[in-house]
Amino acid sequence: MKKTNELSGAELEVMQTLWNNNRPMRVQDVCDALKDSKWEYRTVATLLIRMREKGAVVCEKRENINYYTPVLDKERYTKSQTKSFVQKLYNGSVKDLAVSLFRSEEMSREDIEEIRKMFKL
């Protein structure tokens, strides 16, 4: 079994659906939960197979139907990806990331005020 820490954007969307539903899901269940996307059943099935090969989900067959459950821990994955992101884009400098966020127009005054309160700045 191939193990990897990286999920593609599409795989991550499927994984978030599994994490949010917190139960084993059939391919059709995932498709229904992703109703706003234009993915077909076969695409979702292929993504789940790839995710199983990566060790991100397990598949259990019940009455000839596959049910998928996440194995990848959401919090651990998020931390790992955040660390990788900061390393790749900011040479590991969290300070540079914070400066970039503060200077971007993506942060509202409310966001900044909330952060100040969180860190008692």
Mark 8-42 as b/e (b = at least 16 C-beta within 10 Å): eebbbbbbebbeeeeebbebebbbebbeeeebeee
What's the whole-number average pLDDT of the chain? 90
Domains of the chain plus CATH, in order, are: 9-70 (1.10.10.10), 74-118 (1.10.4040)
For residues 116 and 73, the model is more confident at 73
Calpha distance 31→5 (Å, rounded)? 24
Q: Residue 3's pLDDT is what? A: 54
Calpha distance 57→30 (Å, rounded)? 13
Q: What is the pTM of this model?
A: 0.78
Q: Residue 1's pLDDT is what? A: 44
pLDDT at 4 over 60: no
pLDDT at 2 over 70: no
